[in-house]
Amino acid sequence: MKGARRERGDNGTGARRGDWRAGPTNPSLRPESLARLGGVTKGARGGAAIPMHSDQVGRSRGGSPPDPIGAIIKDISALTEPITRAVERIRIRWEQVAPSLLEVTRNLSSALDRLPKVVRAATLRAAEQGWYFPEDIDFQTLGETALMSPEQLEERMVSYWRDSLPEVEEQILARCPTRSSVLTKAFKAHRSGDYELSIPVILAQVDGICHEGTAYQLYRRQPGGRTLEIAKYIDGVDTFAAVFMEPLKYPMPVNWNHEERKGKPRGLNRHTILHGESLDYGSEINGLKAISFLSFVVWVLVPSESESA
């Protein structure tokens, strides 16, 4: 009989080895035996019963296998939920503030569009009274000066240039070292009240600085006389600084010709002073106006060390 079973190749169950329908040969591993275990299995060598893992129980009872992908998705959802809530709060807040930000952007764009006009109007108005703005002028002050009366503008300019004289001298000498000897004496004469000496020297130095920086004469007119030759240089400047240079493009009291001076109050005029026609120009206000003119020309035409580096 044993030989016959080997011949048939059965395993005592009536099925051949390798037949996928054959059950396990170990009775303890047969389905009915597993069912009797009720979800527990005995320890090795008859030890205490060990609870089976839930996925083992599920498999032993014909349940679905565990879903590791689903567990990962749950974990990710738990982690991202706070982020999702935060993004939603940001979205709601953005919808609340977006209209205001858009309005601010529009106003800023409009202000930037108007800025060159404001600068041009303020600088030309000051130059028409013989005054020129300093390098550290801010846009708020420019806007304020455009609305001042002539008396208010004069008072503001006198106060500024008088109080800022030491710093202004230092800045000018730093940018014009080859002229420091002449300019130092001119500033000394101004502080001593010798305006008849300081003013002609300062005006002459302005001419030289302008020609040195642009190759144009500060007072020479273009054909037709409506603009000065230096306008050719200024029109080629492609930065915002060109807006501040506007007063140098047009005839102003400091460089008015004979016809333009007719019927006008005598003031700081380069031609009449340097050619000896004016003898009453020596005053502190005219001295400060000449210094403001010098400072302005140095600012817009002579690069600083950082700009030239």
In three-state secondary structure terms, 67 is: coil
Residue 90 domain-assigned? no
Between the alpha carbon of residue 183 and those of residues 27, 190, 276, the distances in Å are: 117, 11, 21
d(CA 185, CA 192): 10
Q: Which ranges of the chain would DSSP assign to H, the alpha helix?
A: 2-8, 31-37, 54-60, 68-128, 139-145, 150-163, 165-175, 180-191, 195-214, 231-235, 241-244, 258-261, 270-274, 284-301, 305-308
> Is residue 85's pLDDT more than 50?
yes
Q: Is 293 exposed, middle or buried (0-12, 13-18, 19+ CB in 10 A)?
A: buried
In a domain, 74, yes or no: no
- What is the percentage of the chain residues whose pLDDT exceeds 90? 47
In the block, tokens 């000496």 appear at: 197
Residue 218 inside a domain? The answer is: yes
Helix (H, G, I), strand (E, B), or coil: what is residue 268?
coil
The pLDDT, as a whole number, for residue 226 is: 87
Q: What is the DSSP secondary-structure string of 115-168? A: HHHHHHHHHHHHHHTT----TT--HHHHHHHTTS-HHHHHHHHHHHHHHTHHHH
DSSP 281: -
How distant is the alpha carbon of residue 255 from its chain centre? 39
Residue 31 falls within a domain, yes or no?
Answer: no
* 304: in domain: yes
Q: Are 288 and 300 in contact (CB under 8 A)?
A: no
Per residue in 245-274, pLDDT (tens digit) is 999 999 999 999 999 999 888 889 999 999
**pLDDT number for residue 215:** 94
- What integer best gives the mean pLDDT of the chain? 79
Domain assignment of residue 102, yes or no: no
Query: Looking at residue 106, what is its pLDDT?
Result: 62
The pLDDT value given to residue 142 = 86
> Is 187 domain-assigned?
yes
Query: What would the mean pLDDT of 133-154 be, rounded to a whole number?
Result: 89
In Å, the largest CA–CA distance within the chain is 150
The highest-confidence range among 41-45, 74-78, 103-107, by mean pLDDT, is 74-78
In a domain, 78, yes or no: no
pLDDT of residue 209: 97
- Name which of 221, 192, 200, 197 is nearest 271 in CA terms: 200
**CA–CA dist 172, 231 (Å, integer):** 23
How many domains does the chain fold into?
1
Against a cut of 0.75, is the pTM above it? Answer: no
239 vs 201, higher pLDDT: 201
Residue 223 is part of which domain span? 108-308
Instruction: Output DSSP code: residue 20.
Output: T
